[in-house]
Amino acid sequence: MRDEDARDAELGAFVAARSASLMRYGYLLTGDRARAEDLVQDALVKVYLAWPRIEDTGSLDRYIRQTMTRLHVSWWRRAVNRERPVAIPELPDEADAAAPLPGAPVEERDEVWRLLATIGPRQRAVLVLRFYEGLDDAEIADVLGCAVGTVRSQASRGLAHLRDRMAARPSASTTPAARPTAPGREDPR
């Protein structure tokens, strides 16, 4: 009984401190506030049930994000969820979510949200982990449970899709300087 109380207190403190960040991450993965809430809740339930087996509680944030990413990808694999929404996803309030492009004009941030909604879940997960979370390819592969080569190919395909969508828009600025690079990475050009 005492261990359960300690577990509840530790996990409760973690959730109180990190829930906004987890919601932002869930929103970036799903593009929908309600699904993001469900994703966070499902991940926290799994963590709560696995708590006795979690040895390194210092890595809890990473463990929950990995769980969220895998749950999101699993959701898309189910046959009943193969349909794609056609409506533009609701944009988060400034107070609720970090901008994907800090300091960028509102129109550009809105465009990024719309474009992210057009790519598949694995490509979106890779791009979110790379550009929002700042993870390198090996860390992304660890989170997604796949090979580094898979991460690179998903990132390449996702970025190519985003570039194609940007080029197809009449008001799109497709200058080479607009190509995203991860923090700490050099542009290969």
Task: With cut-offs at 50, 70 and 90, classify the pLDDT of residue 50.
Answer: confident
pLDDT in tens, 24-40: 999 888 888 898 999 99
pLDDT at 135 over 50: yes
pLDDT at 75 over 60: yes
How many other C-beta atoms lie within 10 A of the C-beta of residue 128? 22
Question: Helix crossing, 60-77 with 137-144: angle to 10°?
Answer: 60
Q: Which residue bears the tokens 């090996």? A: 138
Compute the distance between CA of residue 142 and CA of residue 139 in angstroms, rounded to an integer: 5
- Half-sphere exposure of 168 toward its Cβ, with a 13 Å CA cutoff? 8
Tell me phi and psi for residue 172, to 5 degrees.
-75, 140
pTM (predicted TM-score)? 0.56
pLDDT in tens, 146-178: 899 999 999 999 999 988 888 887 654 444 445
Q: Under a CB-based contact definition with an 8 Å cutoff, are residues 129 and 143 in contact?
A: yes
Does 75 or 147 have the greater pLDDT score?
Answer: 147
- For all residues of the chain together, what is the average pLDDT? 76
HEC per residue, the chain: CHHHHHHHHHHHHHHHHHHHHHHHHHHHHHCCHHHHHHHHHHHHHHHHHHHHHCCCHHHHHHHHHHHHHHHHHHHHHCHHHCCCCCCCCCCCCCCCCCCCCCCCCHHHHHHHHHHHCCCCHHHHHHHHHHHHCCCCHHHHHHHHCCCHHHHHHHHHHHHHHHHHHHHHCCCCCCCHHHCCCCCCCCCCC
